[in-house]
């Protein structure tokens, strides 16, 4: 079988579709990446061209393959305790002030394979006032990719991923695999039970998931253009409680995107 070449016109079809569906911008520099990631699907379906594959995923009856393409074209890089300053900020300035008797709710809105929401979960479990009158808490973690959500729900990682978890938290909230599971670990069931994973596309109408004390939207807006960023943040704002906190990555900014948030320290905003 001949190796297919991704033509410019075919690349543009994928660009337009991904932007329309997920808000993700594929620059022309991503052409080789798109060809590489989708080539195995052409082989799988015995197709001769990327155009044929595009026609396949455009078929309403092929919703499962459409999700596979979406999974392949999203970038899901993440790790435990990424950007540790955010977790220090929570420990020092936010969690000690949480009101007892109320459920502290967090939305991790592009959670990838779960490392980010489980890092938040460990931080809340340690930092929120405890005891019988202590603060209860829950995390909603969402992503557009069902493949990473499946991985996140499994809460099962290779030991190499544990390097960035502080040692006392690793000992308390991670269970080392033995036998066939040697070299891996899982997050403890108690912590997992506080994190609910669901598929949410931030580029579409949001489901009713209640209001949150904090929202994490880190390392995803880099894939959106200015208009999409504005629309996504505007859609999310009603879900943040008054005075609630909104976290973006240190390499992202909400400058010119919304008037509803005030910068309180680099990459952390408060709802006005
Ligand atoms: C680079 S990862 C960032 C993961 C994590 N927030 C972090 O900072 O480590 C970006 C994630 O955003 C997700 N994503 C991209 N577009 C999305 C959309 N429209 N709705 C929801 N999630 C999206 C991708 O599937 C991917 O898992």
User: What per-residue confidence (pLDDT) applies to 101?
Assistant: 82
Which of 143, 148, 157 should be mutated for ligand 1, with most atoms under 8 A from CB? Answer: 143
| Nearest Cα residue to atom 16 of ligand 1 | 22
- DSSP helix/strand/coil, 247: strand
Q: What is the pLDDT of residues 86-117, one digit of tens each?
A: 999 999 999 999 988 889 999 999 999 999 99
Average pLDDT score over residue span 149-170: 97
| Nearest Cα residue to atom 13 of ligand 1 | 110
User: For residues 258 and 237, is the Cβ–Cβ distance under 8 A?
Assistant: yes
Q: What is the pLDDT of residues 61-74, one digit of tens each?
A: 889 999 999 999 99
Alpha helix (H) ranges present in 129-261?
146-154, 167-173, 189-192, 226-236
Rg (CA), the chain: 20
User: For residues 126 and 91, is the Cβ–Cβ distance under 8 A?
Assistant: yes
Ligand 1 contact via 116 beta carbon (within 6 Å): yes
User: For residues 49 and 10, is the Cβ–Cβ distance under 8 A?
Assistant: yes
The rounded distance, in Å, linking the Cα atoms of 175 and 112 is 21
Tell me how far the alpha carbon of residue 253 lies from the centroid of ligand 1, in angstroms: 16
Tell me how far the alpha carbon of residue 129 lies from the centroid of ligand 1, in angstroms: 31
Closest ligand 1 atom to 79 CA: 9
Q: What is the DSSP string of 210-238?
A: --EEEEE--S-GGGS-HHHHHHHHHHHGG
Q: Given a cut of 80, is residue 14 above it in pLDDT?
A: yes
Q: Given a cut of 80, is residue 132 above it in pLDDT?
A: no
User: For residues 112 and 148, is the Cβ–Cβ distance under 8 A?
Assistant: yes
User: What per-residue confidence (pLDDT) applies to 148?
Assistant: 98
Q: What is the separation, in whole angstroms, between the first and last Cα of the chain?
A: 60
Which residue(s) pair with 197 in the sheet? 141
* DSSP-derived pairing of the beta strands 212-216 and 156-158: unpaired
User: What per-residue confidence (pLDDT) applies to 129?
Assistant: 83
User: What per-residue confidence (pLDDT) applies to 183?
Assistant: 96
Q: Catalytic residue numbers?
A: 37, 143
User: What per-residue confidence (pLDDT) applies to 225?
Assistant: 96
Which residue(s) pair with 215 in the sheet? 107, 246
Which residue(s) pair with 187 in the sheet? 174
Average pLDDT score over residue span 13-28: 97
Angle between helices 63-73 and 31-44 (to 10 degrees): 140
Tokens 């609910």: give the residue: 196
User: What per-residue confidence (pLDDT) applies to 131?
Assistant: 57
Band of residue 19 on the pLDDT scale cut at 50, 70, 90: very high
Average pLDDT score over residue span 214-218: 98
User: What per-residue confidence (pLDDT) applies to 100?
Assistant: 81
User: What per-residue confidence (pLDDT) applies to 1?
Assistant: 59
Average pLDDT score over residue span 24-50: 96
Which of 67, 144, 203 should be mutated for ligand 1, with most atoms under 8 A from CB? Answer: 144
Tell me how far the alpha carbon of residue 45 lies from the centroid of ligand 1, in angstroms: 27
The rounded distance, in Å, linking the Cα atoms of 68 and 52 is 16
Dihedral of CA atoms 216, 158, 169, 263 in degrees, nearest 10, equals -20
Average pLDDT score over residue span 140-164: 98
User: What per-residue confidence (pLDDT) applies to 242?
Assistant: 97
């Amino acid at each position: 079988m001949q190796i297919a070449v991704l033509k410019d016109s075919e690349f543009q079809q994928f660009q337009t579709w991904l932007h329309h569906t997920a808000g993700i911008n594929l620059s022309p520099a991503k052409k080789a990446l798109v060809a590489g990631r989708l080539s195995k699907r052409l082989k799988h379906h015995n197709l001769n061209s990327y155009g044929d594959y595009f026609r396949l995923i455009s078929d309403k009856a092929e919703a499962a393959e459409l999700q596979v393409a979406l999974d392949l074209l999203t970038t899901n890089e993440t790790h435990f305790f990424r950007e540790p300053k955010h977790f220090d900020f929570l420990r020092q300035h936010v969690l000690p002030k949480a009101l007892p008797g109320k459920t502290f709710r967090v939305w991790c809105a592009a959670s990838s394979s779960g490392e980010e929401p489980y890092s938040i979960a460990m931080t809340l479990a340690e930092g929120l006032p405890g005891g019988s009158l202590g603060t209860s808490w829950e995390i909603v973690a969402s992503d557009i990719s069902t493949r990473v959500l499946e991985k996140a729900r499994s809460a099962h990682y290779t030991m190499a991923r544990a390097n960035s978890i502080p040692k006392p938290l690793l000992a308390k909230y991670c269970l080392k695999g033995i036998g066939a599971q040697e070299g891996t670990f899982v997050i403890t069931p108690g912590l997992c039970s506080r994190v609910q994973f669901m598929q949410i596309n931030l580029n579409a109408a949001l489901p009713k998931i209640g209001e949150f004390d904090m929202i994490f939207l880190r390392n995803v807006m880099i894939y959106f253009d200015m208009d999409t960023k504005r629309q996504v943040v505007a859609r999310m704002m009603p879900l943040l409680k008054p005075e609630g906190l909104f976290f973006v990555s240190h390499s992202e900014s909400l400058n010119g995107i919304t008037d509803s948030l005030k910068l309180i320290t680099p990459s952390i905003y408060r709802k006005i």
